[in-house]
Amino acid sequence: MSNTELSTTYNARETENEIYKFWEDNNCFKADAKSSKPAYSIVIPPPNVTGVLHMGHALDETLQDILVRYNRMLQKEVLWMPGCDHAGIATQNVIEKNLAREGKSRHDLGREKFLELTWDWANKHKDRILEQCKLLGASFDMSRRRFTLDEGCSNAVKKVFVDLYNKGLIYKGNYIVNWCPRCQSAISDVETNYETEDGHLWEISYALKDEMGAIVIATTRPETMFGDVAIAVNPKDYKYKDLIGKSCVMPLTGRVIPIIGDDYVDKSFGTGALKITPAHDPNDFEVGIRHNLPQIKVIDEKGCMMNNEYVPPQLQGLTREEARKKTVEMLESNQVLVRVTQHVHNVGKCQRCNTTIEPLLSRQWFVKMKPLAEPAIEAVKTGKIKFIPERWEKNYLMWMENIRDWCISRQLWWGHQIPAYYHNKTGEMVVALENPDPNNYTQDKDVLDTWFSSGLWPFETMGWPDTSHPDFKKFYPTTTLVTGFDIIFFWVARMITMGLEFTKQPPFSTVYIHGLIRDEHGQKMSKSKGNTIDPVDLIEKYGCDALRFTLTYLCTYGGQDIKISDEKFEFGRNFANKIWNASRFVLMNISKSKDELKLEPEKYTIADKWILNEFNKCAKTVNENLENYRIGEVATILYDFFRSKYCDWYVELSKIEKNEAVLVYVLENFLRLLHPIMPHITEAIWQKMPVKKDTIGILNTQYPQYDKKFDYNDDAVKMETVFETISALRNVRAEFNVPLGAKIDIIIDKNKELYSQIIPYLERLAKVNSVKFETNPAAEKSAFCTVNDTKITIPLAGLIDLNQEIARQQKKMDKLEKELNSIQARLKNQNFVQGAPKEVVEKAKTQKDELEKEINLIKETIKKLS
């Protein structure tokens, strides 16, 4: 990278691969736990081993990398910890699907063989997604990469489980859980999604025992009736209250069950009477506990009717769906089906496979969440942990304040096996880090919810439980957590609770929540919809920096979802190309050596002062916005500065008169400011620049800051006048179709001091032939333009159309007058003059004066023309 020539069009891919390799070869991303510099650390939200890179990762990783690179340039010791999640159910599903293709199930292999197979697969795919992240330019420390099932994480998981158990915060018990008959496992509440479905409400008549009459209940799930243990009515319901304490006879089976009273029953819903099936409905389960009722299971783990005394023989073994149909038929032929109505209701679905959940009575492990949630609520309320944007705090708090116990056991094989051991003969249970006696004790077959281990991610990756580990000491707690709002409950909340419980510190101080990536119609991207965009394709087509810049530009502070389409990334590509070419121009036009390129304030032109002033403002706002996580704003500011200020004006002016040192200084520092967003192109150009380099690359240079010595506001204002003049003259040329080759003469009535400085600019940029200064020039056959109080006359014999010119002037005057009217109205208002801040009033007065002057100028001009 020593040649100073740059190719004419920017070849993003070639450059990016080369540059990333350069950083890797130089170990640029490696964090030093022994460094004395202040620490900045981020842990990656570990992508699933099963995963391939998608747009969500692209956004998430880009934002993290921006923060990481920014802080690295602020000269902090930066650790970005990469790694993957074993993703229990998701991974097991993939492997089982592969087996199914061979006509096998996991049971054909047995646990050991199955795990062997899964490990092979996981090892093969573990680094794939992190390798893909490198295509995004991710500057994480691969030497530290972790996996939630590696030895360190497994030890942390065991320790946490045992400690929580010993503190009484983990318990095992028979409760109703969300059971997925396809995954063959319990899942937690947050893994259950509800979908609205059209169903039926069946009203079934239960005959009273030992007397005439019947009670009619309403149900959406008649097949569960065989597990009924009571009929419940509201004690305040006059229709039924006398029946409480009596019994009824169940249709089809003849079993006798009591009628009970419970406030939970809604008098106005259905028939006002409710069958109670504790083993298959969460609410009924609660009612059953209150009334000390038995729990009768009639549906098994596969979602089929059980073969037991409660289920009629002809239904045994049928699926839930078949059994429902058959049950209804049987009820009908027994003439106990009173009525069927359409009923829209919500049905729980497994988040992983969308199978309808079966609420099932089951023996599972739970974490008692209330005591853990309290400090987690406190940490957010007191501001120890801040959410950005702030509104997510409310969301988090609401969930935390209504937290329910967390079912953590899964009937899977892939995951952390629960460290509970049962005596083979006595059944005695021991919860411990190790099996007390492998000959006599057998480990619990269940594994833990994936989120149990990812909940420990910020500290289990830093050496914990060894709190003297250098990484733990240097880099924990981490600084910022970056993620989408979709996993606040699954992951963020659990990291906070676990972090506080086990390290007594919040695992991070800021949670930066961004939106989700959607397709151009606002639809969530999914493989099944076929609307996904592959970031790898985008990188191939437009380049990684283009992808990063575009995403960043679209990522606004409010954390709105981001709609994308392929073509949107042309924006970033075009910008990269612009940067490349502008840099090419600069490098081609530098004749001085790096030692000669010194800023010499005494030689600055007003243009130099203007661009230095603009850059200085740019550096200031960029830093402020990065500090406040307004990352999209940063992209906008940098884009605007580079295109509208540096390229459109300063580079153009430099073709007339150049200060090489300023040209190079501003470019180099702009590249630094941009580096966190577009790391490769900025590094590639920087390497070729004739500047002093005492770091390996641009990535560890100092991040530019506001510098008082570059405050040149007065000159900047003058320069704006120059630009306005040039634009006004160009407008005249365009308006009257002055041929490109033709030069114009202009007569300026005042402000000679400034204009005489910039005659070469006018000549080159507005194709001016001659400049005269005259207070009252002859105005015939001329066009005019006004810039503040200055009038410029442009004789255009042969081209000028007087009416057209009058109309043009009139239009400008109308616009100015409208503005003036509004300001005048304000200034006439005593309330405004007295009530508004002094500066605002002063500003309005100045504006008024300026507007009046300019309007008078135009009026005079029009008068002369007509």
Partner RNA sequence: GGGCGUUUAGCUCAGUUGGUAGAGCGCUUCCCUUACAAGGAAGAUGUCGGGAGUUCGAGCCUCUCAACGCCCACCA
Q: What residues numbered 326-355 form the site for RNA, per CB under 7 A? A: 343, 345-346
- 95 in Cβ contact with 118 (< 8 Å): yes
Shorter beta-carbon distance to RNA: residue 54 or 658 = 658
Stretch that binds RNA, among 118-126, 370-378, 447-455, 553-561 (CB under 7 A): 553-561
Shorter beta-carbon distance to RNA: residue 19 or 576 = 576
The binder of RNA chosen from 520, 537, 600, 720 (CB under 7 A):
520
Nearest to 407, CA basis, from 373, 443, 370, 364: 364
394-413 residues in contact with RNA (CB under 7 A) are 394-395, 398-399, 402
522 binds RNA (CB under 7 A): yes
478-497 residues in contact with RNA (CB under 7 A) are 489
CB of 843 to RNA, least distance (A): 7
CB of 846 to RNA, least distance (A): 12
The binder of RNA chosen from 127, 300, 652, 789 (CB under 7 A):
652
Q: How many angstroms separate the Cα of 287 from the Cα of each of 232, 273, 326, 784?
A: 9, 13, 28, 88
594-633 residues in contact with RNA (CB under 7 A) are 625, 628, 630, 632-633
193 binds RNA (CB under 7 A): yes
Whole-angstrom distance, CA of residue 625 vs CA of residue 70: 12
User: 739 — alpha (psi -120 to 50), left (phi > 0) or beta?
Assistant: beta
7-26 residues in contact with RNA (CB under 7 A) are 8-10, 12
CB of 400 to RNA, least distance (A): 11
Nearest to 615, CA basis, from 688, 684, 710: 710
Buried b (16+ CB within 10 A) or exposed e, 125-140: bbbbbbebbbbbbbbb
Shorter beta-carbon distance to RNA: residue 49 or 684 = 684
Whole-angstrom distance, CA of residue 471 vs CA of residue 279: 48
The binder of RNA chosen from 177, 651, 664, 799 (CB under 7 A):
651
CB of 807 to RNA, least distance (A): 12
The encoded tokens of residue 730 equal 């160009």
The binder of RNA chosen from 266, 437, 600, 720 (CB under 7 A):
266
Whole-angstrom distance, CA of residue 842 vs CA of residue 848: 10
The binder of RNA chosen from 5, 101, 694, 740 (CB under 7 A):
740
534 binds RNA (CB under 7 A): no
270-309 residues in contact with RNA (CB under 7 A) are 270-272, 274-275, 281-283
The encoded tokens of residue 758 equal 């910039």
**DSSP characters over 153-183:** HHHHHHHHHHHHHHTT-EEEEEEEEEEETTT
Nearest to 136, CA basis, from 215, 47, 223, 206: 47
Shorter beta-carbon distance to RNA: residue 145 or 324 = 324
Whole-angstrom distance, CA of residue 828 vs CA of residue 592: 59
Whole-angstrom distance, CA of residue 479 vs CA of residue 474: 12
CB of 704 to RNA, least distance (A): 19
Phi, psi of 745 (to 5 degrees): -100, 145
Tell me if residue 600 falls in helix, strand or coil: coil
Nearest to 430, CA basis, from 165, 114, 142: 165
Stretch that binds RNA, among 5-13, 379-387, 455-463, 659-667 (CB under 7 A): 5-13
Shorter beta-carbon distance to RNA: residue 212 or 740 = 740
Please give the single-letter amino acid code of residue 418: I
Could you tell me how many residues of this chain bind RNA (CB under 7 A)? 87
Phi, psi of 156 (to 5 degrees): -60, -45
Whether a cis peptide bond, with omega within 30° of 0, leads into 389 is yes
Query: Which positions from 216 to 235 touch RNA by CB under 7 A, shown as an x/- string?
Result: --xxxx--------------
Whole-angstrom distance, CA of residue 127 vs CA of residue 130: 5
Stretch that binds RNA, among 80-88, 363-371, 578-586, 797-805 (CB under 7 A): 578-586
Whole-angstrom distance, CA of residue 572 vs CA of residue 62: 14
563 binds RNA (CB under 7 A): yes
Which stretch of DSSP H or E encloses residue 847?
Answer: helix 838-865
The binder of RNA chosen from 314, 443, 822, 856 (CB under 7 A):
822
Shorter beta-carbon distance to RNA: residue 577 or 687 = 577
**DSSP characters over 501-555:** HHHSS-S-SEEEEE--EE-TTSPBP-TTTT----HHHHHHHH-HHHHHHHHHHH-
CB of 34 to RNA, least distance (A): 38
Stretch that binds RNA, among 436-444, 468-476, 671-679, 827-835 (CB under 7 A): 827-835
- 222 in Cβ contact with 304 (< 8 Å): no
Whole-angstrom distance, CA of residue 115 vs CA of residue 120: 8
Which stretch of DSSP H or E encloses residue 781?
Answer: none
Q: Where would I find the H helices in 4-47?
A: 12-25
The encoded tokens of residue 790 equal 């200055």
CB of 391 to RNA, least distance (A): 5
Please give the single-letter amino acid code of residue 846: T
The binder of RNA chosen from 184, 581, 700, 721 (CB under 7 A):
581
Query: Which positions from 748 to 787 touch RNA by CB under 7 A, shown as an x/- string?
Result: ----------------------------------------
Query: Which positions from 377 to 396 touch RNA by CB under 7 A, shown as an x/- string?
Result: --------------x--xx-
What does DSSP assign to residue 290? H
245-264 residues in contact with RNA (CB under 7 A) are 264
194-213 residues in contact with RNA (CB under 7 A) are 194
Cα 687 versus chain centre, distance: 32
154-173 residues in contact with RNA (CB under 7 A) are none
134 binds RNA (CB under 7 A): no
Shorter beta-carbon distance to RNA: residue 420 or 539 = 539
The binder of RNA chosen from 210, 831, 863, 866 (CB under 7 A):
831
The binder of RNA chosen from 440, 727, 788, 824 (CB under 7 A):
727
The binder of RNA chosen from 400, 500, 576, 607 (CB under 7 A):
576
Tokens 């006018």 belong to which residue? 762
Shorter beta-carbon distance to RNA: residue 160 or 634 = 634
CB of 667 to RNA, least distance (A): 11
